[in-house]
Amino acid sequence: MNHVQAAGVVLTVAGLSGYVIGVTTPYPGRGFSVAGVMVGLTLFAVGGGFK
C-alpha cells in the first residue's frame, strides 16, 4: 500500500465516522464529511486500490 492509497483509506474512514456522528449530533461543518469520503475514495483509486 503506497502513501496515496493509505491517505485515501484514512480520509475515507474519517469522513464516514464524521458523517455517522453528524447524523446523531449536528455540528458545524458536518457537510465536509461527505466531501472527505469522496476525496478519500478518489485518492484510494488513484493510488491503485481498485485493481
**How is the chain classified by DSSP, letter by letter?**
--HHHHHHHHHHHHHHHHHHHHHHS--TTTTHHHHHHHHHHHHHHHTT---
Predicted pLDDT of residue 29? 81
Cell 486500490 belongs to residue? 49
Q: What is the pLDDT of residues 1-51, one digit of tens each?
A: 789 999 999 999 999 999 999 989 988 888 899 999 999 999 999 988 666
Domain edges within the chain:
3-46
